[in-house]
Structures are given as C-alpha cells and as structure tokens.
C-alpha cells in the first residue's frame, strides 16, 4: 500500500479523462489513441489535479500482484491527463524541454527520490522521457515513461524492489504500449 500512495501523489502524473475499454481475458486496455496490456486486471480511478493551468482530471489505472511471490514488481500503472491544447502540445517544440524537465523533476521531488537515469526519446512521432528513480535510498526503483501525444500526457510506470530491477515483466509491460 505504501507504493500505491507514492504514485497517487506524483504531480507530474497529471493525466487524463478518457473512457477505457477492457478485455477481461487479456487485460488489454484500449482508447481511441493507444492500447496497453496489464499483467492483471487493473483498478481505474480518477482524481482532480490542481495545476498552474487550472484543475485537470487525472485517470489512473493500476494493478498490483496478490503477492510479490507471484510477480517481481509491486505495481503497474498507467496515468493520463489532457492539458489545454493552447498551452501544452507536442507540436510546440519550444516548450517541450521545460515541460518535460518540470515533469521529471516533479516526479523525483514528490517521492523524495534520486534520479538515476533519464532518456530522451520518441514513441511513434511523439516526444517522450524515460526515467528511473531510486526510491528510499535503495528500497525500490520507479521506472516511468512519459509520452506527450498532442496535448495528452500518458505515463507508464512500474515500482520494483531494487534487487529485482530490471526484469522481463517490466519490459513486457512497457513494450505492450502502442499508439494507434
């Protein structure tokens, strides 16, 4: 539960308001813009998120294994938030560095962690950042991929005990994300 509380308070995870479709058998969640496969059936929750741009709606999908003996990871997450298109958009290349810098730094500060690694990239043609955060001075690794698709921020995240990081389940989860 400690790790569930961690992700709920990450302000950089300022994301969403989309209706998700679920295939109960395979745990594939699909929107009109992307799809991802969870290892277990996730719970869906939404919460308001106050920002300098006004209050945004963040949608969070999360799943935890019933026990860490079943899985090497504590939690799998997807968070999504729509930003005002006039303020934040993947085509506004002049603001992208500042936008992602604030998102990355906010994630690290909010978990009182230490940034281990940051990789600048793209998912399809959309800008992204992949980060790894040391949580609790070696207790866990938080891996996040932040994708700005037009004015929608999508974050894929796992939290894993440090000695079990990296692992194939993380790779499978991150690799299952596809933009349509």
Query: pLDDT tens, position by position, for the chain (180 residues)?
Result: 444 444 444 433 333 323 333 334 469 999 999 999 999 999 999 999 888 889 999 999 999 998 878 899 999 999 999 999 999 999 999 999 999 999 999 999 999 999 999 999 999 999 999 999 999 999 999 999 999 999 999 999 999 999 999 999 999 999 999 999
- pLDDT at position 51, please? 84
Range of the domain at 160: 2-179
Cβ neighbours of 165 (radius 10 Å): 19
For the chain, the helix, strand and coil percentages under 3-state DSSP, each to the nearest 5:
20, 45, 35
- How many separate domains does the chain show? 1
Q: Check: CB of residue 151 under 8 Å from CB of residue 84.
A: yes
CATH number for the domain that contains residue 49: 3.40.1000
Rounded to an integer, what distance in angstroms lies between the CA atom of residue 153 and that of residue 66? 29
With a CB cutoff of 8 Å and minimum separation 6, the contacts of 40 are 27, 63, 64, 65, 76
In DSSP terms, 41 is beta-bridged to none
Rounded to an integer, what distance in angstroms lies between the CA atom of residue 99 and that of residue 102? 5
- pLDDT at position 98, please? 95
């Amino acid at each position: 539960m400690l790790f569930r509380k961690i992700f709920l308070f990450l302000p950089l995870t300022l994301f969403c308001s989309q209706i998700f479709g679920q295939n109960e058998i395979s745990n594939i969640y699909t929107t009109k813009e992307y799809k991802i496969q969870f290892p277990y059936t996730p719970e869906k929750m939404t919460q308001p998120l106050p920002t300098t741009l006004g209050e945004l709606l963040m949608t969070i999908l999360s799943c935890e294994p019933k026990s860490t003996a079943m899985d090497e990871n504590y939690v799998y997450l997807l968070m999504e938030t729509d930003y005002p298109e006039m303020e934040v958009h993947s085509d506004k290349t002049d603001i992208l560095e500042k936008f992602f810098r604030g998102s990355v730094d906010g994630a690290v500060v909010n978990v009182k962690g230490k940034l281990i690694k940051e990789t600048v990239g793209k998912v399809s043609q959309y800008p992204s950042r992949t980060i790894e955060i040391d949580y609790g001075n070696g207790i866990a690794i938080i891996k996040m991929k932040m994708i700005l698709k037009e004015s929608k921020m999508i974050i894929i995240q796992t939290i894993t005990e440090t000695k079990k990081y990296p692992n194939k389940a993380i790779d499978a989860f991150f690799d299952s994300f596809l933009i349509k």
